[in-house]
């Protein structure tokens, strides 16, 4: 009787999970396997197996190396900046300030603004006849084509910060509000100053939040392509030519071998980074 009941329960569980499992297989697992197959053949239709030749050619491509280098620079620059600034904003808004709730709402607004509206605003700001150039020329300088010079990376970085700060700030606020006030009171009684309380209490208690925000910020740095593409097009200035631009151009050229090889290399890079971060996070907790 127990075995029959166990089997019937297992069957019921499988029946309930079946729609999700089928959807996962159709939309994620099968495309993943097909994409990996394309990265190992010389043509998606009646192609022959070439092993890792597509990956070797990809690594020898100057445009791919440029895209990978720009993506790495952007991530290594943007992620620390967004974490430091969002934590600073969270610390500020965690205090009793006038209009605190309005400020919190203002920083979260980029999360709900449509992409089309974002692009219009940034065009108005950084166009040759835009607001930034109007101020710049009023100071006696020549206008700058912001998206076609080395300034383009700074513009994209500003977009990334603008998009990401509010979300990270909310996460940090939630983490700060979960730290018991008794910890700070005990530290103050022991003579600990603001810096010591911040390093020994705030940062330590925010470790899980820091880890989660770091992962989300890294993922977010790869998602800034949409806005960059809409502002600068298929072939932007070389300083902001990212891996996503490269893959998009390979898709338009129907070069599925390089497209899939590049996507799997990027996925492998992200997995390696996240694995290393998990290792350090677990090591920190065990210590």
Q: What's the angle, vertex CA 228, arms to CA 223 and CA 233, rounded to 5?
A: 130
Classify residue 273 as left (phi > 0), alpha (psi -120 to 50) or beta: alpha
Give the range with max mean pLDDT: 81-85, 131-135, 139-143, 144-148: 81-85
Residue 254, in any domain of the structure: yes
Instruction: Give the domain range for residue 197.
Output: 57-286
170 in any annotated domain: yes
Q: How far is CA 140 from CA 33, 52, 143, in A?
A: 58, 56, 9
Higher per-residue pLDDT: 109 or 132? 132
Q: 10 in a domain, yes or no?
A: no
Rounded CA separation 145/44 (Å): 41
Query: What average pLDDT does the chain have?
Result: 83
What is the distance between the alpha carbons of residues 171 and 148, in angstroms, rounded to a whole number? 35
Bridge partners for 49 per DSSP: 41
Match 């990809």 to its residue by tokens: 58
pLDDT tens by residue, 143-175? 888 878 888 888 888 888 888 888 888 889 888
pLDDT over 80 at 221, yes or no: yes
State how far the Cα of 207 lies from the Cα of 45, in Å rounded to an integer: 49
Q: Considering the domain boundaries, does residue 227 fall inside one?
A: yes
Question: What is the structure's pLDDT at 100?
Answer: 67
Confidence band (pLDDT; 50, 70, 90) for 82?
Answer: very high
3-state helix, strand, coil in the chain (%, to 5): 80, 0, 20
- Decide if 103 is inside a domain: yes
Residue 110 has pLDDT above 80, yes or no: no
pLDDT tens readout for residues 237-280: 888 888 888 888 888 888 888 888 888 888 888 888 888 888 87
Q: How far apart are CA 105 and CA 170, in angstroms?
A: 10
pLDDT category of residue 230 using cuts at 50, 70 and 90: confident
Distance CA 257, CA 260 (A): 5
Per-residue model confidence (pLDDT) at position 286: 60
In a domain, 239, yes or no: yes
Least confident of 116-120, 223-227, 236-240: 116-120
Q: What is the mean pLDDT of residues 11-18?
A: 82
Establish if 52 belongs to a structural domain.
no
Q: In this prediction, what percent of the chain has a pLDDT beyond 90?
A: 4
Number of domains in the chain: 1
Q: State the pLDDT at residue 83.
A: 92
Cβ proximity of 222 and 248 under 8 Å: no
**The pLDDT of residue 231 is above 80:** no
Rg (CA), the chain: 24
Q: Give residues with Cβ within 8 angstroms of 146, minimum separation 6.
A: 126, 132, 133, 152, 155
Per-residue pLDDT at 283 exceeds 80:
no
CATH number of 204's domain: 1.10.3720.10
- The stretch 9-25 carries a mean pLDDT of 84
Q: Are 242 and 70 in contact (CB under 8 A)?
A: yes
Specify the pLDDT at position 287: 58
User: Within a domain: residue 151?
Assistant: yes
pLDDT digits (tens, 9 = 90+) for 20-66: 889 888 888 888 888 888 888 888 777 788 888 888 888 888 888 99
């Amino acid at each position: 009787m127990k075995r029959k009941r166990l089997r019937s329960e297992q069957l019921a569980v499988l029946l309930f999970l079946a729609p999700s499992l089928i959807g996962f297989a159709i939309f994620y697992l099968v495309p993943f396997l097909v994409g990996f197959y394309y990265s190992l053949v010389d043509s998606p239709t009646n192609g022959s197996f070439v092993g890792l030749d597509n990956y070797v050619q990809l690594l020898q491509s100057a445009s791919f190396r440029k895209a990978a280098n720009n993506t790495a620079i952007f991530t290594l620059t943007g992620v620390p900046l967004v974490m430091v600034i969002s934590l600073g904003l969270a610390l500020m808004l965690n205090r009793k300030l006038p209009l605190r709730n309005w400020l919190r709402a203002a920083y979260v607004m980029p999360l709900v603004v449509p992409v089309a509206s974002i692009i219009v605003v940034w065009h108005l700001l950084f166009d040759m006849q835009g607001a930034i150039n109007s101020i710049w020329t009023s100071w006696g300088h020549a206008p700058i084509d912001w998206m076609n010079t080395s300034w383009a990376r700074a513009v994209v970085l500003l977009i990334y910060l603008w998009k990401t700060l509010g979300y990270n700030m909310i996460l940090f606020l939630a983490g700060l509000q979960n730290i018991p006030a008794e910890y700070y009171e005990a530290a103050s009684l022991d003579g600990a100053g603001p810096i010591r309380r911040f390093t020994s209490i705030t940062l330590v208690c925010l470790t899980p939040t820091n880890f989660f925000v770091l992962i989300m910020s890294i993922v977010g740095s790869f998602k800034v392509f949409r806005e960059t593409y809409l502002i600068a097009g298929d072939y932007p200035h070389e300083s902001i030519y990212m891996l996503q631009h490269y893959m998009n151009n390979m898709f338009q050229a129907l070069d599925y071998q390089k497209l899939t090889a590049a996507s799997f290399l990027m996925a492998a890079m992200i997995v390696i980074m996240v694995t290393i971060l998990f290792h350090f996070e677990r090591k920190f907790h065990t210590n």
